[in-house]
Amino acid sequence: MHRELFLVITYIIVVFSILRQAMGLQQTPSNQILVGLALFLTLFIMTPVLDEVYEKAAKPYMNETLEAGVALDVAMKPFRKFMLSQTRETDLAVFLDLSKRGQTYADIDDVPMTVIIPAFVTSELKTAFQIGFLLFIPFLIIDLVVASVLMAMGMMMLSPLIVSLPFKIMLFVFVDGWAMIIGTVAASFGTV
């Protein structure tokens, strides 16, 4: 059950890593900070799902009103629902085709988690790379403008990356980049 929770972290880490690259920051913020932020953001995003699992499966199991096998089945339903709501149909179709071996599923509830999980991860990676592409554009424009200005001034020996970094950081701070990115990432899951 807990492995589905941390699949969301993949998406968040990719977005944060691409942001760091786009800004030209090699190790700032550090990987530990990015992973910590991604972990807490994952828990924040998954709270409604975790609350549902607790109320419908964990609590009845601890009160001994549900057997372990039944509790596990009940606990998986909110995760399945969440993952299916975030998975592109094309990605699900790819893994359905790969896994079929002549088998068809009459209902989406019959599709095994071994198909849903990789389809979900693939969808999340696609979305993360799309967001990453959009994050790169303003920083790339800053790099191009700075490089053009330096070339026009005849300062070819000065690295445009060194000059553009303060402008990138300034832009990120002025537009409240962390709030914007974290808000966009959290809202993209529709659970908050």
What count of other Cβ atoms lies within 10 Å of the Cβ of residue 47? 12
Q: Is residue 153 part of a domain?
A: no
Q: Is residue 148 part of a domain?
A: no
Q: Is residue 87 part of a domain?
A: yes
Tell me the whole-structure pTM to 2 decimals: 0.80
* Number of structural domains found in the chain: 1
Q: Is residue 141 part of a domain?
A: no
Distance (Å) of CA 109 to CA 40, 74, 154, 172? 30, 13, 65, 43
Q: Is residue 140 part of a domain?
A: no
Q: Is residue 145 part of a domain?
A: no
Residue 122 lies in domain:
2-135+176-187
Q: Is residue 163 part of a domain?
A: no
Of 39-43, 54-58, 187-191, the range with the lowest mean pLDDT is: 187-191
pLDDT digits (tens, 9 = 90+) for 87-142: 898 988 888 888 876 567 777 877 888 888 888 989 989 988 998 999 899 999 99
Q: Is residue 15 part of a domain?
A: yes
Joined tokens for residue 181 = 């990115």
Q: How many CA atoms lie within 13 A of 133 on its CB side?
A: 5
